[in-house]
Structure 1
């Protein structure tokens, strides 16, 4: 019987590389803010608002939600 040896290939790291994590967070922020802007414009058009209150309100909520999400993601210990 010959002893079996573990594979000698490169080690697979279970952690996500930092640049992938940060670029993912950036794309997530962009997506949330874009959806808020598009949704707000559609609501303003639907209600025929002269002042874009829905767009402004949704954008403010989206920015705060995105910043909160980034802070939580960065402070989470993996």
Structure 2
């Protein structure tokens, strides 16, 4: 039979092992959200300015990828 302090210790270890998964899955959803917003905003700008090619969409998607990658790298390096 476990004592309350042993249960607390096991619970704390379990929570510590879950934290990285939650952190990195959150980063993935953040990146997906940034890409979706960039695509939506770029499409709207292309329609508004009646560009023949999707220049705004491409530019905003590239910007979103770069910003997302920088955010992920900074997050990984920060412990």
TM-score scaled by structure 1? 0.80
Structure 2 unaligned regions, length at least 5: none
Residue 17 of structure 1 and its aligned partner are, at CA, apart by 1.2
1:14-54 deviation line (CA, Å, top 9, x unaligned): 85611101100100000011100000000000001111110
Q: In structure 2, what is the Cα distance between the partners aligned to 1:64 and 1:51? A: 22
Instruction: Give the corresponding residue for 1:75.
Output: 77
1 or 2, which has the higher helix percentage?
Answer: 2
Q: In structure 2, what is the Cα distance between the partners aligned to 1:38 and 1:49? A: 15
Structure 1 unaligned regions, length at least 5: 1-6
Q: CA RMSD in A?
A: 1.7
Q: Does 1:66 align with 2:71?
A: no
Instruction: Give the corresponding residue for 1:53.
Output: 55
Of 35, 41, 46, the residue aligned with 2:37 is 35
